[in-house]
Amino acid sequence: MNISFHHHASLDDAQKAALLQRTEGDLGPFLEKVVPIIHAVRDEGDAALARFARQFDGSTVAADAIAATPADFDKAFDSLDKDFIEILEYNSDNVRRFHRAQMPEQMWMKEMHPGVFAGEKVEAISSVACYVPRGKGSFPSVVMMTAIPAVVAGVPEPVIITPPGPDGNVDAATLVAARIAGVEQVYKCGGAQGVAAVAHGTQTVPRCRKIVGPGSPWVVAAKRVLADRLDPGPPAGPSESIILADETANGRVAALDLLIESEHGPDSSAYLVTSSRAVAEAAIAAIPGYWKQMSEQRVAFSSTVLCGPRGGVILTDSIEEAIAFVNEYAPEHLQIHSKDAHDYLGAIRNAGEILLGEHTPICIGNFTLGPNAVLPTNASAHTRSPLGVHDYLKLVSIGHVTRKGYDTLAPYARKMARYEGFDAHENAVSEMRTKAFEAG
C-alpha cells in the first residue's frame, strides 16, 4: 500500500482542485435516495423506523421500542466499567466548563440616543435533536459535544437520536454519556430515517426545531432535503484533517496524528502538508509500522484514505505555500507540528479548530480538551464556526423609545417611509399619531 504523495508546485490547476474535494461534495445520488425514506417515515412513523433499522442497521428494534427506557439507562451504567464512567464524567466536565464560559450575556440594552434604547435578549431554541452516529463505531464523545451545550444553553427539550445496534439497543456508553449530560430522551433511529423522524415527528419521536451533530452523506443529504422543516444546523459530514508541519517537526510523530482522522472511515480525508521533504519521508516510512498496531478494520479505513485521492502527504516548496493550501482547504481539524506552532496562528484563517504543537493531538481535542469537536466540514470553515452554545440559542432584539426619543427619531422614519412608498409607515409617525393620542 503506497501512501499518496503530491508535490504541490508540480500539480496543474485541476489536480490542485482535486485535492480540495471531499466525499460530502457530491450529494446528488444521496439526495435522490433519501426522499422515499423521508416520505415513508412521514407517512408510517415508528413502523418505518423499525423497518429501516432492519434494512440499514441489521437491527431487531421493534416499532414499540424506539425510545430508550429508564431501565436501559440503568442497565448501561451497570454494564460499563466504573473507571470508564469516571472518564466520561471527567471529559464531560471539561466540555461543560468550556461551554458555560461560552454563554453570552442573557440580556443587554443600551441608550443609543436620549430616550432611545436598543438591545437583545437570548432565548434557547425550544427543541433540538442531537445526532450521534454509530455505523463505524460508538461515539459517546459526540453525545458530550452535542448534548452538553444543549443543556448548558437551556434547551427545554434536547433529544438524542442514534442508530440501534444489531440487538436493538443503544450503545451503553452513549446512554451513560447522555445521562451525565442531562438528557434522558434517547431514540433508536439513525441515518436519513432518523433525520426524518425529528423533522416530522412520529408516534414516539418528538418533532424538533433543529438537528445538530455529524453524520454520513445519507444524514447530510436528509438534512438538506428537510431544511424547510428542520434547521439542519452547522454542516458536519465525514471526518477530515490536516497536519501542518514545518522543518522543525518530527515526521514520525506527525504520522501518528495523521492516522487519527483517517481511521474514521473510507469517506474521511486526511493530509500531512509540509514544506520539509525529510518530514514527509519520515512520516511515510513510519505509517506501515503504525498500521501493524491497529485493527484490521481501522487499517482498511485508514489505508483507503491515505492511499487514495483524499489523503496522503502534500509537499510544498515553502511553509507559506503550505499555509495557503490550508486556508483554501479550510479543514475540520488542523494540528500544527512545529517547535514554534504559535507563530503560525495568525496566518491561519480557515479551520474548524487549530491545535497547536506536537502535544495537542486531534484525539485530545475530540475527547478531553473542552472546546467542541463537532466542527464544520467540506470547506464550510470558510464561513462557519464549531458547534457551541450559540447553536442552541437565538437572539431577540429589544427596543424602547420614550416620548423624547420618539420626537428625535420620528422625522427620520417618516421621510424613509415616504421615500419607500409605505403610507401606513408614514402615517404612524406623523401628526396622525399625535391626534390619535389626543382623541383618547
Catalytic residues: 332-333
SS (H, E, C) 122-147: EEECCEEEEECCCCCCCCHHHHHHHH
Ordered strands of the 5-7 beta sheet: 5-7, 311-315, 269-274, 240-245, 333-337, 353-356
Decide: residue 265, CB within 10 A, 0-12 exposed, 13-18 middle, 19+ buried.
Answer: buried
Quick one: residue 17, left, alpha or beta (phi over 0 = left, psi -120 to 50 = alpha)? Answer: alpha
- At position 371, the amino acid (one-letter code) is P
Residue of 12, 6, 2, 1 lying closest to 280 (CA atoms): 6
Buried b / exposed e over 10-33, threshold 16 CB at 10 Å, is: eeeeeeeeebeebbbeebeebeee
Q: Which residue has the cell 434517547?
A: 186
- At position 365, the amino acid (one-letter code) is G
CA 397 and chain centroid, separation: 27
Residue of 290, 294, 332, 295 lying closest to 310 (CA atoms): 332
Quick one: residue 392, left, alpha or beta (phi over 0 = left, psi -120 to 50 = alpha)? Answer: alpha
Query: Which helix or strand (DSSP H or E) is residue 211 part of?
Result: strand 210-212
For the CA atoms of 385, 388, 391, 394, the dihedral, rounded to the nearest 10 degrees, stands at: -110
User: CA of 22: how far to CAs of 223, 268, 303, 315, in Å?
Assistant: 18, 8, 16, 20
User: CA of 150: how far to CAs of 4, 6, 71, 95, 219, in Å?
Assistant: 40, 42, 24, 12, 20
CA 300 and chain centroid, separation: 25
The residues near 354 (Cβ < 8 Å, ≥ 6 apart) are: 334, 335, 336, 345, 348
